[in-house]
């Protein structure tokens, strides 16, 4: 007979799989009460999951708090943020775009605490109840299904870019369901976004899904399909037009290859590489002839280039980074307070950025109809808001977990477990690179990987 406890365990694990499946849907018309999370479909299921987690822990009379140095360091990180913010509390009287400093602090601190404590504990506890290889297979399969949908929609967008509009009625129907937008539209400059609200969010989803799909190279399944999957990943990344996405996906492929080949590299792999080199050379030449100019433009647009179509975006990004660093230089120990960077940025934007970017001019405006000044980077944001100690703690938290995962990798002999650790290492590395150009803690994928990583460390007794 199945007990209520077992039913709740199964239900919570299935809800986690649904959360994974919904990760690309980050632009829906959700519940306004969720604030910053209202457009994230997975966040809605996450909150529902916590509702079902409560009766489970009441029945079990135990909460699965991670006994892990990484979790403790996260708690220290949160405590430091609170202390640093108390020091800056007298400045929270600022009001900008009809928002107050206290309001921003409460919302941002609540968001961080929500993900770092109850969500991380929830993911960790439920996942640790199951065999790690079972978890690996289940999550990977769900990622694959989710990726199929992302690929299909993205392919239709690519066709639309080249003038094949026969599927536009279908796209309009789907678009009205998954977007919080008044009308059907495509992102300009020949870029796709698939199921995500904007191209950069598609790139962030690919940063999470790519290592799971690459793992088919390790487990001997889908021998032909895995090369197709890799080709689709690169195609979606290219047509997203995301400069940071291109860097992240290429970095993940390199990290994945290094983790795999470091141990397996011997003659038979050398022979395979030699046989593949001519194919890679011909492919590179072909791609270079057909899309070389466009690819160079995307690479150039990472920096401020007057020849890039994305010059304004580059100026906005680098101008904001410069402003954040200037804020941090004047407040190096405690920063200006968590959630407060947006109040200071308008004063610190460099003149060349204000003159060169209409986006920055809009962000400087006190008009509440204009967007709030984004930070673009978690590192510079934490530096400006929590000082050197805050950004140092965040880096140490993640490096400690990466170190434990590397140790775990070289202690396992099971093929699937090794693949799971490689995926976790690669995924966490990619998401951390992503945090160089994204400034919010609302990434459910990041906290899921943090929890999985702590489970893997626990399974190998490396706490």
pLDDT at 462: 55
CA distances from 307 to 289, 317, 353, 412, 425 (A): 20, 17, 17, 50, 37
Express each pLDDT in 419-460 by its tens digit: 999 999 999 999 999 999 899 999 999 999 999 999 999 876
Q: For the packed helices 444-459 and 415-434, what is the interaxial angle rounded to 10 degrees?
A: 140
Find the range with the poorest average confidence among 22-31, 63-72, 285-294, 350-359.
285-294
107-113: long-range contacts, CB 8 A cutoff, minimum separation 24: 107/35, 107/36, 107/339, 108/338, 108/339, 108/441, 109/81, 109/82, 109/85, 109/338, 109/339, 111/35, 111/36, 111/37, 111/440, 111/441, 111/442, 112/78, 112/81, 112/338, 112/441, 113/78
pLDDT at 205: 96
pLDDT > 70 in the chain, percent: 86
pLDDT > 90 in the chain, percent: 53
pLDDT at 433: 93
Phi-psi label, residue 225: left if phi above 0, alpha if psi -120 to 50, beta otherwise: alpha
pLDDT, the chain, mean: 86
Binned at pLDDT 50, 70 and 90, residue 263 comes out as: low
Which of 262, 235, 261 lies closest to 249, judged by CA? 235
Find the range with the poorest average confidence among 36-50, 142-156, 175-189, 247-261.
175-189
Binned at pLDDT 50, 70 and 90, residue 59 comes out as: confident
pLDDT at 294: 54
d(CA 364, CA 189): 26
pLDDT at 284: 52
Residue pair 136/414 in contact by the 8 Å Cβ criterion: no
Of 112 and 316, more confident: 112
pLDDT at 160: 87
Express each pLDDT in 170-226 by its tens digit: 888 888 888 887 666 666 567 899 999 888 899 999 999 999 999 999 887 777 888
pLDDT at 312: 79
Express each pLDDT in 161-170 by its tens digit: 888 888 888 8
Query: Phi/psi of residue 402, each to 5°?
Result: -60, -40
List the structure tokens of 152: 């299909």
Binned at pLDDT 50, 70 and 90, residue 51 comes out as: very high
Residue pair 416/221 in contact by the 8 Å Cβ criterion: no
pTM: 0.88
Map out the domains of the chain as residue ranges: 1-62, 130-265
Which of 345, 393, 344, 347 lies closest to 84, judged by CA? 393
Express each pLDDT in 279-333 by its tens digit: 555 555 455 445 544 544 454 444 454 444 457 778 888 889 899 999 999 999 9
Of 249 and 165, more confident: 249
d(CA 38, CA 294): 35
Express each pLDDT in 354-395 by its tens digit: 988 889 999 998 888 888 899 889 999 999 999 999 999 999
Which of 452, 462, 459, 460 lies closest to 211, judged by CA? 452
Give the up-direction half-sphere exposure of residue 306: CA atoms within 13 A in the CB hemisphere.
1
d(CA 394, CA 338): 14
The torsion of the CA quartet 311, 312, 315, 316, rounded to 10 degrees, works out to -150
Query: Cα 23 from chain centroid?
Result: 10
Residue pair 316/323 in contact by the 8 Å Cβ criterion: no
pLDDT at 460: 66
Find the range with the poorest average confidence among 100-114, 130-144, 156-170.
156-170
DSSP, collapsed to helix, strand or coil, labels residue 349 as: coil
d(CA 52, CA 209): 27
CA distances from 132 to 128, 183, 312, 414 (A): 8, 44, 46, 11
Segment 91-105 mean pLDDT: 87
């Amino acid at each position: 007979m199945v007990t209520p406890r077992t039913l709740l365990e199964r239900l919570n694990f299935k809800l986690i799989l649904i959360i994974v499946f919904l990760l690309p849907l980050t632009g829906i018309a959700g519940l306004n009460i969720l604030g910053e999370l209202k457009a994230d479909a997975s966040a809605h299921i996450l909150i529902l999951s916590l509702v079902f987690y409560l009766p489970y822990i009441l029945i079990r009379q135990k909460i699965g708090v991670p006994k892990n140095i990484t979790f403790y360091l996260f708690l220290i990180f949160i405590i430091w943020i609170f202390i640093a913010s108390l020091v800056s509390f007298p400045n929270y009287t600022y009001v900008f775009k009809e928002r107050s400093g206290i309001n921003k602090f409460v919302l941002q601190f609540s968001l961080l605490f929500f993900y770092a404590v109850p969500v991380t504990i929830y993911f960790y506890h439920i996942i640790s109840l199951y065999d790690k290889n079972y978890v690996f297979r289940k999550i990977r399969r769900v990622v694959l299904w989710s990726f199929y949908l992302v690929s299909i929609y993205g392919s239709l967008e690519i066709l639309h870019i080249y003038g094949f509009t026969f599927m536009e009625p279908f796209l309009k129907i789907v678009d009205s369901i998954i977007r919080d937008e008044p009308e059907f539209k495509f992102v300009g400059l020949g870029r796709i976004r698939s199921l995500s609200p904007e191209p950069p969010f598609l790139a962030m989803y690919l940063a999470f899904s790519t290592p799971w799909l690459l793992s088919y190279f390790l487990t001997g399944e889908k021998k032909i399909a895995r090369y197709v999957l890799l080709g689709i990943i690169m195609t979606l990344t290219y047509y997203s037009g995301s400069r940071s996405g291109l860097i992240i996906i290429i970095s993940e492929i390199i990290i994945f290859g290094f983790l795999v080949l470091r141990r397996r590299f011997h003659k038979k792999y050398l022979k395979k590489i030699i046989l593949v080199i001519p194919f890679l050379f011909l492919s590179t030449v072909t791609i270079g002839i057909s899309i070389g100019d466009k690819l160079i433009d995307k690479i150039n647009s990472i920096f401020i280039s007057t020849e890039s179509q994305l010059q304004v975006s580059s100026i906005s990004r680098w101008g904001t980074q410069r402003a954040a660093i200037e804020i941090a230089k004047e407040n190096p120990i405690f920063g200006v307070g968590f959630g407060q960077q947006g109040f200071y940025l308008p004063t610190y934007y460099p003149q060349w950025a204000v003159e060169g970017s209409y986006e920055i001019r809009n962000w400087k405006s006190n008009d509440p109809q204009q967007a709030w000044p984004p930070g673009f980077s978690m590192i510079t944001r934490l530096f400006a808001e929590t000082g050197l100690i805050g950004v140092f703690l965040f880096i140490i938290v993640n490096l400690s977990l990466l170190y434990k995962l590397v140790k775990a990798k070289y202690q396992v002999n099971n093929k699937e477990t090794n693949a799971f650790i490689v995926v976790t290492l690669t995924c966490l590395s990619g998401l951390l690179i992503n945090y160089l150009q994204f400034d919010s803690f609302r990434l459910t994928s990041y906290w899921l990987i943090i929890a999985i990583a702590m489970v893997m460390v626990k399974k190998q007794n490396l706490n």
